[in-house]
Amino acid sequence: MAKKIVAGNWKMNKNLQEGIELAKGLNEALAADKPNCGVVICTPFIHLAKVSEIINHNVIGLGAENCADKASGAFTGEVSAEMVKSTGAEYVILGHSERREYYNETPEILKEKVDLALANGLKVIFCIGESEAQRDKNEQNAVVKAELEGSVFHLSAEQFKNIVIAYEPIWAIGTGKTATADQAEEIHAYIRSVIAEKYGAEVAADTSILYGGSCKASNAPELFAKPDIDGGLIGGASLKVADFKGIIDAWK
Ligand code: PGA
């Protein structure tokens, strides 16, 4: 059975002090009311070391939102997977559509990042998903399959166990437009079948496939009730303890 996970993606929000407050608040809320799923928060790089000291890692995993495609050296402004790991983080988000679109991250670049993340003992939350134009042309299955083939299907089955997939239709991210639970389930089941073809049924059944895109406390129960939806990757609604906790509680 795939692990159930609710992961937050803070994106470029919260200064250091605000981030510390949010992490403290979440840590307290989950200490008082234990979650029924894995919880992860992915924060800007500058928050990682501090937040790592604040949270109970038995309850909340910590992740970065990106890492470099190079191991180390003269790459001004970049942050390596090894540096991320050294903060106490356990995860890194890679392949988010905002990175692909605004920072020109190609499948080849993402493959390098995935390899470095795994080599440094990080688990990868790997994002895939189609644009609105691609969905209109019914190309969503081909798009997600190509994204998997382009950056993670070179991994061995053993390595692939460290990959969490996040299906995030680009047209649903930050737009308030959520995929319906049926729409999401249909493509999640397809993604699992593609993983099964590549790695076998057991690995596929054990792979957590999260839904992302305007997921909130009000729609999370219906989404999470679907057999192939193992949780969510949450942007906007991860920025307030009550909103994020509301989604975590959908597993209760
Ligand atoms: P959203 O973002 O929840 O704000 O739509 C999700 C994501 O981009 O991970």
Instruction: Find the CATH number of the domain harbouring 209.
Output: 3.20.20.70
Q: Give the confidence band of 135 by pLDDT, cuts at 50, 70, 90.
A: very high
Regarding the beta carbon of 215 and ligand 1, being less than 6 Å apart is answered: yes
Range in 33-37, 148-152, 174-178, 232-236 the model is least confident about: 174-178
Cα four-point dihedral sign 136, 139, 140, 144: negative
Active site residues: 96, 168
Residue 37 lies in a domain: yes
Confidence (pLDDT) at 183: 95
3-state helix, strand, coil in the chain (%, to 5): 50, 15, 35
Confidence (pLDDT) at 167: 98
Confidence (pLDDT) at 170: 95
Domain of 58 in residue numbering reads as 5-241
| pLDDT tens figures, 58-68 | 999 999 999 99
Tokens representing residue 210 in the block = 């999260």
Number of compact structural domains in the chain: 1
- The reported pTM is 0.98
Regarding the beta carbon of 52 and ligand 1, being less than 6 Å apart is answered: no
The pLDDT of residue 93 is above 90: yes
Pocket test for ligand 1, best of 13, 234, 243 (most atoms within 8 A of CB): 234
- Helices (H) then strands (E): counts for the chain: 12, 8
Q: Give the confidence band of 192 by pLDDT, cuts at 50, 70, 90.
A: very high
Residue 250 lies in a domain: no
Average pLDDT over residues 205-211: 98
Average pLDDT over residues 109-127: 98
Confidence (pLDDT) at 179: 86
Residue 53 lies in a domain: yes
Residue 25 lies in a domain: yes
Pocket test for ligand 1, best of 5, 9, 66, 244 (most atoms within 8 A of CB): 9
Tokens representing residue 234 in the block = 């949450």
Residue 246 lies in a domain: no
Average pLDDT over residues 141-153: 98
Q: Give the confidence band of 132 by pLDDT, cuts at 50, 70, 90.
A: very high
Asked whether 82 and 26 are in contact (CB, 8 A), the reply is no
Residue 249 lies in a domain: no
Hey, what amino acid is at 144? V
Residue 214 lies in a domain: yes
Pocket test for ligand 1, best of 132, 214, 240 (most atoms within 8 A of CB): 214
Instruction: Give me the chain's average pLDDT, please.
Output: 97
Nearest CA to ligand 1 atom 6: 235
Please report, rounded to a whole number, the percentage of residues in the chain having pLDDT higher than 70. 100
Helix axes 16-32, 241-248, angle to 10 degrees: 40
Asked whether 127 and 94 are in contact (CB, 8 A), the reply is yes
210: CB partners within 8 A, 6+ apart? 5, 7, 125, 164, 165, 166, 167, 229, 230, 231, 232, 233
Confidence (pLDDT) at 80: 99
Exposed e or buried b per residue across 145-175, where buried means at least 16 C-beta atoms within 10 angstroms of its C-beta = bebbebbbbebeeeebeebbbbbbbbbbbee
Atom of ligand 1 nearest to the CA of 98: 8
The pLDDT of residue 177 is above 90: no
Regarding the beta carbon of 178 and ligand 1, being less than 6 Å apart is answered: no
Query: In whole angstroms, what is the distance from residue 181 CA to residue 134 CA?
Result: 19
Atom of ligand 1 nearest to the CA of 215: 3
CA of 106 to the centre of ligand 1 (A): 20
| pLDDT tens figures, 71-82 | 999 999 999 999
Residue 251 lies in a domain: no
Cα four-point dihedral sign 235, 111, 161, 184: positive
The pLDDT of residue 133 is above 90: yes
18: CB partners within 8 A, 6+ apart? none
The pLDDT of residue 194 is above 90: yes
Regarding the beta carbon of 219 and ligand 1, being less than 6 Å apart is answered: no
Confidence (pLDDT) at 178: 82
